[in-house]
Amino acid sequence: MGSERGSVELVNVTKRYGDVVAVDTLNLEINSGEFLSLLGPSGCGKTTTLRMLAGFEQPDEGFVRISGEYVQGVPPYKRDVNTVFQHYALFPHMSVAENVAYGLRQKGVSKDEIGTKVVEALDMVQMSKMATRRPRQLSGGQQQRVAVARALVNRPSILLLDEPLGALDRKLREEMQIELKLLQNRLGITFVFVTHDQEEAMSMSDRIAIMLNGHVEQLGDPETVYERPTSAFVAGFIGRNNFWRGVATENGANADDQTVFVASRPKENVPTGQEALAAVRPECISLSATKPGASSNVVGAKVAGVSHFGDVLQYVVSTGSRDLLVQVSRTDPARFGVGDEVWCSWSADDVFLFSARQASLVLAGTGSV
């Protein structure tokens, strides 16, 4: 672990800019050949982390290993990595092939070798047919592919991508997500992919490092970070949740709004009597016209809104003191309209309970408490 070609290791890495701690005692191991996303809100230190891997910045503390080698003081061009930036800035006066060849020319690589490598790199992104075009004769997606080819031309074992799809519109962005993922599968090299978009990270990654305030808050595969968030911040940042503030009891929490008792086993060690934040995902709440008997959490509400999203229906229901978000499958036979009286119920097993320490962060991030 940590010594293979294509592996990355950050150990207790800290980077400061004046008083700002951009990266704070960050620890992360990335496996060779994996697609790992750094995901987090703006300013959490994603770009700074990537720049330390690329060699554009040096850590103030801690160390970085790339393909098993300590890289303190190793300049960017001598590292086994290359970067695709958000603003990938192709040279407008050069052809596609010249853009891809540029780095190799600078290094004094022979003309023959450049020719072969450029063809290979353009083949990888299916752009060989457009080798003689100028960037302005390409669509946004094609320009992005050229930027990727330019980064791959040296055959790095790790590709660093800093919000590479940020400038593209939604549809193109989704197409490029699939394309990049297929490319990574085909090449088998490590991708370290920075994004603030949780859906993007969820759909593309083998594992996601969710970052907050310069450190890794949780590291795991998409399913795990969704189903077993270890902090309120992660629960609010990945997918959606209904949150309750309250006080932890022996087997759950008494919510502040008095109307709901949220039963669950306290997770993350929230001691009884302490302020807690309980969370239930919208798809874990069931709606029914008659009061269900068995469920551990039952509350009456009135439907305030219904939205259709292809395969799911989303309800906003009001308990009188708050709104809840409920998501059901379109194939669910029970349908409700605005104004209908309904019963909401959910199982104790679907309740997360966290220390209230991070409540303000969750509030800021999702607005759903």
Binders in 17-56 for ligand ADP, by CB under 6 A = 17, 20, 22, 40, 42-48
CA distance 305 to 313: 10
Nearer to ligand ADP, 21 or 312 (CB): 21
Burial of 113 (0-12, 13-18, 19+ CB in 10 A): exposed
Binders in 60-89 for Mg ion, by CB under 5 A = none
Nearer to Mg ion, 196 or 240 (CB): 196
Sequence-separated (6 or more) residues with CB below 8 Å from residue 227: none
Instruction: Work out what residue 106 binds among Mg ion, ligand ADP, none; the CB cut-off runs from 5 to 8 Å by kind.
Output: none
CA distance 70 to 37: 22
Characterise 330 by phi-psi region: left (phi > 0), alpha (psi -120 to 50), beta (else).
Answer: alpha
Tell me the DSSP string of 329-354: ETT-S----TT-EEEEEE-GGGEEEE
Sequence-separated (6 or more) residues with CB below 8 Å from residue 93: 134
CB 204, min distance to ligand ADP, A: 18
CB 52, min distance to ligand ADP, A: 10
Instruction: Work out what residue 43 binds among Mg ion, ligand ADP, none; the CB cut-off runs from 5 to 8 Å by kind.
Output: ligand ADP
Measured CA to CA in angstroms, residue 187 lies from 32, 143, 152, 320 at distances of 12, 20, 10, 55
- DSSP H or E segment with residue 128: none
Nearer to ligand ADP, 50 or 260 (CB): 50
Q: Is 195 in the site for Mg ion (CB under 5 A)?
A: no
Residue from 32, 37, 47, 157 binding Mg ion (CB under 5 A): 47
Instruction: Work out what residue 17 binds among Mg ion, ligand ADP, none; the CB cut-off runs from 5 to 8 Å by kind.
Output: ligand ADP
Per-residue x/- track, 101-130, ligand ADP (CB under 6 A):
------------------------------
Amino acid code (one letter) for 145: R
CB 347, min distance to ligand ADP, A: 36
Nearer to ligand ADP, 196 or 322 (CB): 196
Q: Which stretch binds Mg ion (CB under 5 A): 47-55, 118-126, 168-176, 348-356?
A: 47-55
Instruction: Work out what residue 182 binds among Mg ion, ligand ADP, none; the CB cut-off runs from 5 to 8 Å by kind.
Output: none
Nearer to ligand ADP, 47 or 99 (CB): 47
Angle, helices 140-152 vs 96-106, to 10°: value is 20
Instruction: Work out what residue 48 binds among ligand ADP, Mg ion, none; the CB cut-off runs from 5 to 8 Å by kind.
Output: ligand ADP
Binding site for ligand ADP (CB under 6 A): 17, 20, 22, 40, 42-48
Residues within the interface to Mg ion (CB under 5 A): 47
